[in-house]
Amino acid sequence: MSSRIIPVQPFDYVVFGATGDLTKRKLLPALYHRFKDGQFDEQSRIIGVSRSTLTDAEFRKAARDSITQFVEKEYQDEKVIDRFISTLSYVSNDVNDEKKWGDIKGLRDDPKVVRAFYLAIAPDLFGPTCEYIKKKGYYRRDARVVIEKPLGHDLASSEQINDEVSKIFKEDQVYRIDHYLGKETVQNLLALRFANILFEPIWNSAHIDHVQITVAESVGAGTRGYYDESGALRDMIQNHIIQLLCLVALEPPASDAANALRDEKLKVLRSLKPITNADVAKCTVRGQYRAGSVDGAAVVGYQDELPEDKKGSRTETFVALKAEIENWRWAGVPFYIRTGKRLVSRASEIVIQFRSIPHSMFDHAEGAPRPNRLVIRIQPDEGVKLLMMIKDPGPGGMRLREVPLNLSFAQTFTERTPEAYERLLLDVIRGSQTLFMRRDELEAAWMWVDPIREAWDAATDAPQPHTAGTWGPTGAIALIERDGRTWHEDGH
């Protein structure tokens, strides 16, 4: 595997929010893995910034604890950890209070050293942090800034956040991160479509009946502080799932350049048929889980997880949508989307349901021909499966049987697959924006989502209740079955 590792330039990575959960669980373990694989070495520096008062030694100890806790034991190497920890330093700093501004020591002026700022902090601090970077003289025209979601709660607030960031950083310096786009299977969707001639000629309304996108979680939501202010529509649909829809539906880009891909995604977003107030009742379903059982264990309902002042919340923990793309390729092909907490299992997948054969010659066969399905499994058990019809072996007549052509990533690729953040963190250093959202993409997504949110807020009905450990409320089943279709749930 080492021969496939391409080292990056030396860098100074400044991580604001260095003592936060994201840094502990994702960023530091991801950087450790890249260091361990030789993608960067001690020439690079990682500088943590937070309001907490820590010494360099205390921050390094906390980083070591994060690696011990969140990196698989088989990849923990004490000598490598020691070398990685040596690249870390810490600055105590409150960017929201100019009187408490600290100096970021160790930033190098060498143009060969990439300078990147990762804002793993609340969005309302993005503006003050960028202002701090500029006023303290840390801004360079070639510097990069990474901003985490949620980027606002609607179009107006998103524009305000982006306006504040853009006062300092130009669009080509801004990396809006969505970790879903860094997942190996998501990127393989592009390879599947555009590196093989097999699928592209039939990737259209003439051959595809409908598309399903499911992002299901078995964990609850009530203990996540910001979730009750966002809900499933903002937390999952507006960013992760719409990005998956774009990758399924986009036209072939002219190249793999960042803007070539993002231009095509933007065309899809602008082609989404608006779900207006009149359409919300028939095209959307929102739900909220009640007490039930997940993986054999009893779990409480969403309302029971909330603090007293949040009881009675109408925040949706489940959403199902029927989306349509109004262009030549996809006219008449519905995209059924669902996502939720406390569902049957953790599963993210895309199902391409092809049309039925126009005529069957197997009138007397046992088992009717079933339409082909392409199932792209994002997590867990990453892989690609094509369901097709064959003759069941043996004498005594024609017996048709559906079988999968199954590509399991775990079985095919024996080496460790890097996590999404590993790829995205170093794409920033490379200057590759392909897997990051452009501002006009983000705003187009909000423009489609906002009317749905507004219609729900104006409605008097609450989210439909459903039992934890099921696939959501009955309304989600009706959404797809009144079109004569059904949700794909094989293997869950």
Q: Catalytic amino acids?
A: 240
Rounded CA separation 107/49 (Å): 13
The residue with tokens 């709660």 is 153
Q: Where are the beta strands (DSSP E) in 191-332?
A: 208-216, 284-290, 292-294, 297-299, 318-324
Distance (Å, rounded) from C-alpha 447 to C-alpha 459? 19
CA neighbor of 323 nearest in space, from 271, 372, 277, 373: 271
- Residue 46 parent element (H or E): strand 45-50
How far is the C-alpha of 203 from the C-alpha of 324, rounded, in Å? 15
Q: Assign residue 12 a region (left: φ > 0; alpha: ψ between -120 and 50; beta: otherwise).
A: beta
> Could you give the CA distance from residue 410 to residue 236 in angstroms, rounded to a whole number?
26
Query: Quick check: 241 and 249 in contact, CB under 8 A?
Result: no
The DSSP bridge partners found for residue 119 are 16, 147
| Beta-bridge partner residues of 59 | none
Please answer whether residues 116 and 44 qualify as being in contact, where contact means their C-beta atoms are separated by less than 8 angstroms. no
Written as six digits, the tokens of 35 are 């260091």
**Structural tokens at position 156:** 């107006």
Q: How far is Cα 364 from Cα 205, in angstroms, rounded to an integer? A: 30
